[in-house]
Amino acid sequence: MALFGRRRTVSSDVVEPNRITETLEKFGSDATDAIRSASRYDDTEEWVVHQARKSFVAGAGAGAVPGAYWVLGPVDVIYLVRTMMTTAWGVGVIRGCSIDAATDLALILAVWSGHVDPADVRMQLARESIVEFRDSQHGVSRQFLKKVSTKVAAKIGAKVAGKVVGHHIPVVGPIACGGVNAYFVRSIADVAEHYYAEKEAFSTY
């Protein structure tokens, strides 16, 4: 399908790595809302269910209008990424961990996207001052964020392709769109659980 002579693709039109990088740079160093919201919960599962429901509703809404996901999709994806960010930090809050918003988020997304092996989390925590990862003036380096954002966009894009096709189907389409969002929120929560467990273990050394 072409638009103004350019072939439209899910990766370029709906899931843009640059927009994800901008979102991480703009919101990825402030976990204030996540800390406040997650502090009301005693159990990570309840927190994750709450966040997954929110993302489901947003995804279902974006997929409810046949043919409109090309317009609503980018907004849905950024909302999803921000919900994933909040969910991940919230897991750490409920576990009683200290939250270093930028570092935690960058490494959680790096593991979730496949940029960092889950078994290497402690090594990454020990090496977080390396040039690739951290900019001494601006926190997590843009270079690292761009690499992670590209991987995040690819992973989300693979599922969003199904949203673009499926949202044309009444009733089933919105449910499928919402389900994809909820799946991503739960999957980032699983990675956050692993990350914060490793962070706790690392801090005891």
- pLDDT per residue, tens digit, the chain (205 aa), is 343 344 444 444 556 788 888 898 899 989 999 999 999 999 999 999 999 999 999 888 766 665 555 556 778 888 899 999 999 999 999 999 999 999 899 999 999 999 989 988 888 877 654 445 555 545 678 888 889 999 998 898 877 765 554 444 444 457 777 888 999 999 999 999 999 999 998 876 5
Q: In the prediction, which pLDDT does 107 show?
A: 93
Q: Is residue 59 part of a domain?
A: yes
Q: Is residue 149 part of a domain?
A: yes
Q: Is residue 34 part of a domain?
A: yes
- Name the domain count of the chain: 1
Q: Is residue 17 part of a domain?
A: yes
Q: Is residue 18 part of a domain?
A: yes
Q: How far apart are CA 194 and CA 17, in angstroms?
A: 25
Taking residue 114's Cβ as centre, other Cβ atoms within 10 Å add up to 13
Domain, as residue range, for 115: 13-203
Q: Is residue 29 part of a domain?
A: yes
Global pTM reads 0.81
Q: Is residue 1 part of a domain?
A: no
Side-chain half-sphere of 34: how many Cα atoms within 13 Å? Answer: 28
Q: Is residue 57 part of a domain?
A: yes
Position of tokens 């899931």? 15
Q: Report CA-CA distances (Å) from 104 to 50, 111, 161, 163.
A: 21, 11, 29, 29
